[in-house]
Amino acid sequence: MKKTMTGAQIIWECLEREGTKIAFGYPGGAILPTYDALKHSSIHHVLVRHEQGATHMADGYARVSGGVGVAIATSGPGATNMVTGIATAMLDSSPIVCITGQVGSKLIGTDAFQETDITGVTLPITKHNYLVTKASEIAQTIREAFYIAKSGRPGPVLIDVTKDAQQGTCEFDWESAAPQLPGYRPDLSPDAAHYKQALELIKTAKRPVIFAGHGIMISGAMREVRDFAEKAGVPVALTLLGIGAFPASHPLNLGMMGMHGEAWVNQAIQDADLLIALGMRFDDRVTGNLKNYATKAKKIHVEIDPSEINKNVKVDVALVGDVREVLNELLPHVEATDRKEWFDHIESLKGDSAVRDIQNLPDNGHLYAAHVINDIWRETEGNAIVVTDVGQHQMWEAQYYKHDNPRSLITSGGLGTMGFALPAAIGAKMANPDAEVWVIVGDGGFQMTMCELATIVQERLDINIAIINNGYLGMVRQWQEFFYERNYQATPLLSPDFSVLASAYGIKSSSVTTRADVVPTVRAARKHQGAVLIDFQVEQEDTVYPMVPAGADLHNMIRRPSPIVETAMDK
């Protein structure tokens, strides 16, 4: 028997049926009917301190769980506060559904109190969005939103629901509300001829490299990628968001490529005769100068989004489809190949990289971020989920925390969103409560969303926060150092006493200024039941090496000075 329900009740009923256990949100006038109906729902609602935080939490939840994250806000400023989080999810293909309240349908267009055309605002940064004005439209809209968010190339979907639609009533019929999207065809598969072409290129290649991107984890193709790389004897380079898709400890893992990738990885790409790109999009941080990018290499691109094919880099063979399905089709036909000469060449490219590594430089008494992150990796044995913000610490984390497990590095790759880490870590922890979660964040980004410390305490979450505090907007300062003659305009950063701040929230805290204190402090944090904040006061003018300057050729990297020069500079 069909039940008559309000639109607000239908919202929660549909979320439950879509499998939602947790929703992150902040109430307000236009969404109050929905919050009023929350009392009848089994969904756990997390009250955030800012709507941006709700979207990042939903994003972090989605990335760790592999499901869909849900964020809720009211109209006007509540909805616009979500914009940064929605854009972050869009650039990183993260499936979230955002539900916003809207003024009554008769008031739309009148500049009513807290009215904003949020569907217009978010049109370019959502996979799809809806304005719902009738209770009878809500069920089908939510079902379509979840289907769109998680199918094909995942992404954010926004549903704007007018207040009268939430208050109105209709018969609720789940079955008849099934998605009807005749023009939406996310299940693509390559032509047989393209498989044949790809296999021929793999067979004849002497110097191939696999590119492992975020799409591998979205499709769940980690085992297939490993099997493919081992059978074909092909080394694997990773994008930032691909870290974890292929074990860091695997002998075929080259490491991260691109702007702050290892120098030998970028040189190997420039020397390769075949690139096999899996679930990645050839963004500018990966390629450098396109004119001189991998000019000797044929290119195979496996990607579920047809619009990414030939967008940045022209490829020879495009396999448009799910990475896992494509690899399962290729695997039985791939021939085992001895590529000793190619691996010997890659080994030779490493040159003096090891001696330039800051981990191998003499202890000069300074505390460096790389030391902190490397010690956190060793103490957690690489088993933690690490959530980072954006900037220098993000790149050091990618270099010095070795991820063997998928979905264990959560970071804003495409949009580069400062303020992402702390709220995203809340979502990550709630998606996997048994996991050890570390936030690694700069002193700049942390101050953008540190209000969510209250959410951590309110939800009693066991999260460790490592602030890499260098007193600067570090990556911007680095660019000023390299490209603007050390003109440090607006980058020196005044911060509060983070330990005192944490204490105000009832969070255990400590401050570390020496390398010797890093390990004992990390160990103490891991033993503590509850959240911990550690203020690591590191060397102020440290630099992320190596670095490809924006627009430069991929192999033209700025390298860390040799140990002799480094030692001289420290005196």
Q: How far is residue 482's CA from residue 502's CA, in Å, rounded to a whole number?
A: 35
For residue 418, give Cα distances in angstroms to 47, 159, 282: 21, 25, 22
Q: Report residue 482 as tokens.
A: 């390299």
Q: Which residues contact 353 (CB under 8 A, 6 or more apart)?
A: 262, 263, 264
| CA distances in angstroms from 367 to 193, 240, 271, 276, 357, listed in the order given | 56, 25, 37, 39, 15
Q: Residue 415: how many CB atoms within 10 A of its CB?
A: 18
Handedness of CA 559, 386, 97, 32 (dihedral sign): negative
Angle between helices 518-527 and 369-380 (to 10 degrees): 40
Q: Which long-range contacts (CB under 8 A, 24 or more apart) does 191-200 make?
A: 194/317, 194/318, 194/319, 195/319, 195/329, 195/330, 195/333, 197/316, 197/317, 198/300, 198/317, 198/319, 198/330, 199/330, 199/333, 199/334
DSSP secondary-structure letter at 181?
Answer: -
**Is 395 one of the annotated active-site residues of the chain?**
no
Q: Please, what is the end-to-end C-alpha distance for the chain in angstroms?
A: 82
Q: Which of 13, 140, 146, 163 is catalytic?
A: 163
Amino acid in position 334: V
Q: Phi then psi for 216, rounded to 5 degrees? A: -65, -45
Cα 390 to Cα 142, 257, 474: the distances in Å are 32, 17, 10
Beta strand 3-6 with 169-172 is antiparallel
* Helix, coil or strand: residue 463: strand
Q: How far apart are CA 299 and CA 290, in angstroms?
A: 14
Angstrom distance (rounded) from CA 74 to CA 51? 9
Measured CA to CA, the distance from residue 45 to residue 517 in angstroms comes to: 39
Rounded distance between C-alpha atoms, residue 236 and residue 257, angstroms:
10
CA distance 57 to 458: 14
Q: In what order do the strands lie in the sheet with 157-162?
A: 44-47, 22-25, 69-73, 96-102, 157-162, 128-132
- State the catalytic residue, choosing from 21, 114, 171, 343: 114
Exposed / middle / buried, residue 398 (Cβ in 10 Å: 0-12, 13-18, 19+): buried
- Decide if 446 is catalytic: no
Q: Catalytic annotation on 51?
A: yes
Catalytic residue among 475, 478, 480, 547: 475
Q: Decide if 177 contacts 132 (C-beta within 8 A).
A: no
The whole-angstrom distance between residue 100's C-alpha and the CA centroid of its chain comes to 23
Exactly one of 13, 51, 224, 379 is catalytic; which is it?
51
Active site residue 359: no
Between CA 498 and CA 446 the distance in angstroms is 10
Task: Give the active site residue among 3, 113, 196, 296.
Answer: 113
Q: Is 113 assigned a catalytic role? A: yes
CB atoms within 10 A of CB 435: 17
- Nearest residue to 440 (alpha-carbon basis) of 415, 477, 410: 410
Residues marked as catalytic: 51, 113-114, 163, 475
